[in-house]
């Protein structure tokens, strides 16, 4: 604990390793894949891909289902991910359309409707620490893959239909599955192993890219839909706290625009040595955006969550989503946290106000970063609000 962090990444890795390594027997992994697949990005367009298998059987669904992780601690999530052994082999991304044995097996695995009994023979005993990323959920140890087999596969018929529809474009397949109730994580997994679209266009997509691609594609479709609705008729504040994070959304009775701003506190993952909270964010107006968001995948995950909430109500609004990340968040666990955290915030009972001042006062009571700093970084708070009221209000903040 010399780093001074409430949750020590080194101890979390060591603890997870101590629990899993006794279950490993040499270079063979037998267990129930959640199901889980991995596609790396190093060396693209020749990447490492393979299954993720825990060295035990049973209901392992939660190991690769971030939608079920809210309420779990960082150490529990690390345990889930370290349990999954990655067997990988170098393949070309275009092999998704050719259907070689490994890729076909991975695609079958990605169709699984629940855990799939699996066996992987590796070239050596798996090793390596937990790999943390701001994009994807953590990854556990790995080893080169010799062979891989699955049995007792029960497929998700919705994904199976999309896979065998050779005339359905990938974007349409993704949105159809989403509309049919398939979890976003399952869609991302199948998209990553090249299961959608017309055969000449199918290819493997690195896991971290596929996560943002699906969040971006789905949210863009939902935003297009919600623009047909009337605006909300008051100001609203939604919030939710989890894993040393606060997600707070202010909705305004204006046409659609969206802004995401993060505040990383000293001692948190990306501001370990800072002296004050570091703020960063990005914005889009009613016409959308053409460039990739500077803050990365969390922007699209949060946009999806906000768009879902508005479409569910049949309204549109301008949305400012603020995230405060406190020192206890010492290990990044992926953009799923933004998606699920903002989803939970949007599902919470809103605090409603007749004025911007009331909404800002409510937000200020929960935020630790002074309101003035949020205004300095926010396009919405500068340009979309009534300019004659804002300076007067801030003078009292």
pLDDT given for residue 134 in this prediction: 79
List the 351-353 sheet strands across, edge first.
Answer: 278-284, 257-264, 318-325, 245-252, 235-242, 351-353
Q: Which of 203, 183, 193 is nearest to 148 (CA)?
A: 193
Give the DSSP letter string of 313-331.
HT-B-EEEEEEEE-TT--S
Q: Model-level pTM?
A: 0.92
Q: What is the pLDDT of residue 388?
A: 45
The C-alpha atoms of residue 173 and residue 35 are separated, in whole angstroms, by 20
Which segments within the chain are labelled E, that is strand?
28-33, 37-39, 46-53, 85-92, 116-122, 142-151, 235-242, 245-252, 257-264, 278-284, 318-325, 351-353
For the residues of 77-132, what is the DSSP string, one character each? HHHHHHT-EEEEEEEEGGGGGTT-HHHHHHHHHHTBSS-EEEEEEESS--B-PPBP
Residue 95 CB neighbour total at 10 angstroms = 18
Q: What is the pLDDT along the chain (397 residues), one digit of tens a residue?
A: 445 555 555 555 555 555 656 556 679 999 999 999 999 999 999 999 999 999 999 999 999 999 999 999 999 999 999 999 999 999 999 999 987 899 999 999 999 999 999 999 999 999 887 788 777 888 889 999 999 999 989 999 999 999 999 999 999 999 999 999 999 999 999 999 999 999 999 999 999 999 999 999 999 999 999 999 999 999 999 999 999 999 999 999 999 999 999 999 998 888 888 889 999 999 999 999 999 999 999 999 999 999 999 999 999 999 999 999 999 998 889 999 999 999 999 999 999 999 999 999 999 999 999 999 999 999 999 875 654 455 555 666 6
- Residue 35 preceded by cis peptide, ω within 30: yes
Residue 127 pLDDT: 87
């Amino acid at each position: 604990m010399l780093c001074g962090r409430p949750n020590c990444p080194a101890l979390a890795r060591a603890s997870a390793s101590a629990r899993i390594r006794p279950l490993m027997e040499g270079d063979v992994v037998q267990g129930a894949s959640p199901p889980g697949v991995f596609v790396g990005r190093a060396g693209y367009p020749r990447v490492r891909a393979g299954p993720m298998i825990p060295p035990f059987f049973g209901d392992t669904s939660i190991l690769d289902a971030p939608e079920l992780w809210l309420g779990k601690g960082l150490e529990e999530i690390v345990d889930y991910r370290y349990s999954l052994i990655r067997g990988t082999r170098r393949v070309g991304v275009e092999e998704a359309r050719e259907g070689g044995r490994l890729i076909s097996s991975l695609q079958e695995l990605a169709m699984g409707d629940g855990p799939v009994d699996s066996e992987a023979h590796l070239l050596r005993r798996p090793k390596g620490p937990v790999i943390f990323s701001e994009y994807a959920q953590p990854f556990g140890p790995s080893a080169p893959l010799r062979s891989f087999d699955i049995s007792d596969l029960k497929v998700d018929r919705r994904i199976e239909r999309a896979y065998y529809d050779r005339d359905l474009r990938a974007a349409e397949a993704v949105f159809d599955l989403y509309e049919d109730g398939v979890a976003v994580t399952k869609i991302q997994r199948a998209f990553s192993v090249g299961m959608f679209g017309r055969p000449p266009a199918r290819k493997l997509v690195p896991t971290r890219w596929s996560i943002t691609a699906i969040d971006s594609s789905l949210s863009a479709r939902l935003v297009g839909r919600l623009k047909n609705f009337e605006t909300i008729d008051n100001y609203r504040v939604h919030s939710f706290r989890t894993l040393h994070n606060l997600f707070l959304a202010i909705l305004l009775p204006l046409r659609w625009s969206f802004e995401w701003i993060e505040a990383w506190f000293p001692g948190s993952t990306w501001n370990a040595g800072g002296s004050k909270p570091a703020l960063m964010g990005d914005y889009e107006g009613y016409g959308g955006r053409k460039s990739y968001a500077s803050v990365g995948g969390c922007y699209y995950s949060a946009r999806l969550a906000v768009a879902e909430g508005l479409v569910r109500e049949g309204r549109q609004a301008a949305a400012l989503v603020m995230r405060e990340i406190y020192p206890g968040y010492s290990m990044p666990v992926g953009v799923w946290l933004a998606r699920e955290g903002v989803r939970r915030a949007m599902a919470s009972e809103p605090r409603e106000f007749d004025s911007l001042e009331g909404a800002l006062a409510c937000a200020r009571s929960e935020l630790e970063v002074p309101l003035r700093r949020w205004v300095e970084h926010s396009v919405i708070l500068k340009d979309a609000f009534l300019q004659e009221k804002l300076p007067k209000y801030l003078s009292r903040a």
